[in-house]
Amino acid sequence: MRTYGRSDKLKSVQYAVRGPVAEKANQMEQQGIEVLKLNIGNPAPFGFRAPQNIVDEMKANIEDNEGYSHSKGLPDTRQAIYEYALKKNLPNVNVDEIFTGNGASELITMTLNALLNPGDEVLVPAPDYPLWTGSVTLAGGTPVHYLCDEKSDWMPDIEDIKSKINSNTVGIVVINPNNPTGAIYPDEVLQQIADLATEHGLILFSDEIYDRILMDGYEHKSLATFAPDAFTLTFGGLSKSHMMCGFRIGWLILCGKRDHVKDYIAGLTVLASMRLCSNVPAQTVVRHCLEDKSELEAMLLPGGRLYEQRKVVMEGIKDIAGMSVVYPHGAFYCFPKLDERFNIHDDQQFALDMLEQAHVLVTHGTGFNWPNPDHFRIVMLPDTETLAAAMKNIGSFLDGYRQK
Ligand SMILES: Cc1ncc(COP(=O)(O)O)c(C=O)c1O
């Protein structure tokens, strides 16, 4: 019998967040073992709910929104995103070049598919949110990883970016606030990346899905505001700011210089048309969400859930010998480091060992395209008790752990 395998395009594509370790956790749960899951940025299972008034509004709108919308989105939804873009000072934006998507994810794959040819290189951060590396590969391009440097609080290493730009480079991906490190980039860093893109005529892909998840008085500035003379694609959405990732609503805003990318934009429009449109009922609440203060804001202040959960994780890590972390100020992740005493050479095996022995599920660092097997990501969404229990289990597991 003829057998069928995955396509060659998929051969070097991975998404470890839902990979074999997570699969093993599911099996353990089916056997009745309780697993503390710190692996996935999905707020709903941890008791975070979308704001009730927004859910009610969507319910009320459902019957009038059964059909396809314009492939880029409903006019008023795009107008609301346009107004948000103006508030964030994005340069040279127009309503016709705003696209809604079934999450930012769909738009990330679409924008790369519309652009890349074999041989094209895209600079992607290491560590990254692995959809970026996977999507560049799937679109036929080559991801080239630039270092985000733990020694400088996970800031992109500008010299490393510079050294990797060549005649095949077409774009730079920036994730700010960052998943998995929780870093928020200051003006100087954004300006330097913007200047490199402008100087070399590169396209900027700015993933800003966490732009409203900021703590400790940090403000978010969009990369595009530093690059009026480059072409920037800015990605956003409601998945995280309004805890509604299951409703699948995100957007893409094109801005900056366009003359040199007209055909690319036409290609993107073809792809947007082919997928017909994004979830229409979810589009109808975008205006309300963008105009309202996010309910999340209170959770990010002292006493708020996300703030206190981070505190538990940070204090837990401080008490574990051999583990350290750069303090995260944005999103809801941290990316701790494990020192040499653990002798880790296979970090997926490390995550499996931790799952089996401590019943804690995390995602190993190489799953985020981090080059060394010495990190893992913690999702800080569970409540403080769960996180405290998980940190205690991780501490006991690591005490004496050494990979053979
Ligand atoms: C950095 C980053 N970008 C994009 C996404 C996908 O967001 P969406 O739910 O809008 O597809 C995620 C989801 O975790 C993310 O962490």
Residues 327 and 265 in one domain: no
Single out the residue of 395, 398, 402, 389 nearest to residue 36, CA to CA: 389
* Ligand 1 nearest-atom number relative to CA 239: 9
Decide: 382 and 36 in contact? Cβ < 8 Å.
yes
**Any domain includes 253:** yes
* Last residue within a domain, chosen from 264, 291, 318: 291
Is the peptide bond preceding residue 228 cis, with omega within 30 degrees of 0?
A: no
**Which amino acid is residue 273, in one-letter code?**
S
Average pLDDT of the residues in 375-391 = 95
The structure's pTM equals 0.96
When divided into structural domains, the chain yields a total of: 2
**Any domain includes 2:** no
What's the rounded Cα separation, in Å, for the pair 120 and 116? 6
Say what percent of the chain tops pLDDT 70: 100
Which protein residue's CA is at the shortest distance from atom 16 of ligand 1? 179
For 258-288, write each residue's pLDDT tens digit.
999 999 999 999 999 999 999 999 999 999 9
Query: Ligand 1, from 179, 185, 283: best to mutate by most atoms within 8 Å of Cβ?
Result: 179
Residues 27 and 173 in one domain: no
Single out the residue of 360, 364, 361, 370 nearest to residue 403, CA to CA: 364
Residues 167 and 249 in one domain: yes
Residues 263 and 325 in one domain: no
pLDDT tier at 40, thresholds 50, 70, 90: confident
For 166-193, write each residue's pLDDT tens digit.
999 999 999 999 999 999 999 999 999 9
**Any domain includes 404:** no
Which CATH number is 27's domain given?
A: 3.90.1150.10
pLDDT at 351: 96
Distance (angstroms) between ligand 1 centre and the Cα of 132 equals 10
Residues 61 and 40 in one domain: no
Angstrom CA distances, 373 to 128, 218, 260, 337, stand at 15, 31, 41, 9
**Any domain includes 167:** yes
Specify the pairing of strand 333-334 against strand 376-379.
antiparallel
List ligand 1's pocket residues with C-beta within 6 A.
Answer: 41, 103-105, 129, 175, 179, 207, 209, 237, 239, 245, 250
pLDDT at 41 over 90: no
* Ligand 1 nearest-atom number relative to CA 238: 10
**Any domain includes 403:** no
Tokens of 166: 């060549």
Residues 25 and 104 in one domain: no
173 lies in which domain range? 52-291
pLDDT at 17: 76
Single out the residue of 112, 70, 78 nearest to residue 97, CA to CA: 78
What's the rounded Cα separation, in Å, for the pair 165 and 316? 40
Decide: 341 and 402 in contact? Cβ < 8 Å.
yes
Residues 233 and 94 in one domain: yes
Tokens of 261: 């990318």
Judging by beta carbons within 10 Å of its beta carbon (0-12, 13-18, 19+), is residue 70 exposed, middle or buried? middle
Distance (angstroms) between ligand 1 centre and the Cα of 105 equals 6
Decide: 229 and 198 in contact? Cβ < 8 Å.
yes
Tokens of 30: 């089916």
Which residues touch 298 (CB under 8 Å, ≥6 apart)?
304
**Any domain includes 316:** yes
**Any domain includes 131:** yes
Residues 180 and 159 in one domain: yes
Residues 361 and 391 in one domain: yes
Within 10 A of 228 (CB to CB), how many other CB atoms are there? 16
Which protein residue's CA is at the shortest distance from atom 6 of ligand 1? 105
What's the rounded Cα separation, in Å, for the pair 91 and 262? 17
* DSSP per-residue letters across 184-251: ---HHHHHHHHHHHHHHTPEEEEE-TTTT-B-TT-----GGGG-TTSEEEEEEESTTTTS-GGG--EE
**Which amino acid is residue 145, in one-letter code?**
H
Decide: 86 and 236 in contact? Cβ < 8 Å.
no
Which CATH number is 102's domain given?
A: 3.40.640.10
What's the rounded Cα separation, in Å, for the pair 290 and 296? 13
Within 10 A of 115 (CB to CB), how many other CB atoms are there? 22
For 76-130, write each residue's pLDDT tens digit.
999 999 999 999 999 999 999 999 999 999 999 999 999 999 999 999 999 999 9
Residues 333 and 277 in one domain: no
What's the rounded Cα separation, in Å, for the pair 361 and 339? 20
For 301-355, write each residue's pLDDT tens digit.
999 999 999 999 999 999 999 999 999 999 999 999 999 999 999 999 999 999 9
| Contacts for 23-32: CB closer than 8 Å, 24+ residues apart | 24/352, 24/355, 24/356, 25/355, 25/361, 28/355, 28/356, 28/359
**Any domain includes 1:** no
* Ligand 1 nearest-atom number relative to CA 105: 11
pLDDT at 59 over 80: yes
Query: Ligand 1, from 46, 136, 209, 249: best to mutate by most atoms within 8 Å of Cβ?
Result: 209
Residues 64 and 81 in one domain: yes
Decide: 340 and 17 in contact? Cβ < 8 Å.
no
Coil, strand or helix at 36: strand
What's the rounded Cα separation, in Å, for the pair 157 and 261? 27
Residues 251 and 133 in one domain: yes
Decide: 176 and 184 in contact? Cβ < 8 Å.
yes
* Last residue within a domain, chosen from 263, 291, 319: 291
Q: How far apart are the first and last CA of the chain?
A: 41
Decide: 26 and 361 in contact? Cβ < 8 Å.
no
* Last residue within a domain, chosen from 291, 307, 333: 291
Angstrom CA distances, 91 to 82, 111, 148, 365, stand at 11, 19, 27, 35
